[in-house]
Amino acid sequence: MSGGGTQNSLRRALGALKDSTTVSLAKVNSDYKELDIAIVKATNHYERPARERHIRAIFAAVSATRPRADVAYCIHALARRLSRTHNWA
């Protein structure tokens, strides 16, 4: 028997811990706190759809009414988050 189930559980727990740490750091270090938190929570390691409020925050950040710098930051933050996360389940 392999320990695949235990290893998957450990990966999920580690991913959740990393998400929690990232949210805590965003609360302290970010100029775009709400957006950074929404990105982490919308792309978390749990196998369920993201909450609508997090998706709305991301959509609001990339709307045409926002300054280009805000839109660029959101796109960059999403790309960085997606490229750094290797295990989603």
Paired tokens of 24: 């805590």
Burial class (CB in 10 A: 0-12, 13-18, 19+), 62: middle
Burial class (CB in 10 A: 0-12, 13-18, 19+), 23: middle
Inter-residue contact 46 to 88 (CB < 8 Å): no
Read off the pTM: 0.73
Residues 42, 78, 65: CA angle, nearest 5 degrees? 95
Inter-residue contact 38 to 30 (CB < 8 Å): no
Inter-residue contact 35 to 58 (CB < 8 Å): yes
Whole-number pLDDT of residue 88: 59
> What pLDDT digit, counting tens, does each position of 60-78 carry?
999 999 999 999 999 999 9
Of 22 and 50, which is predicted with more confidence? 50
Distance CA 41, CA 55 (A): 9
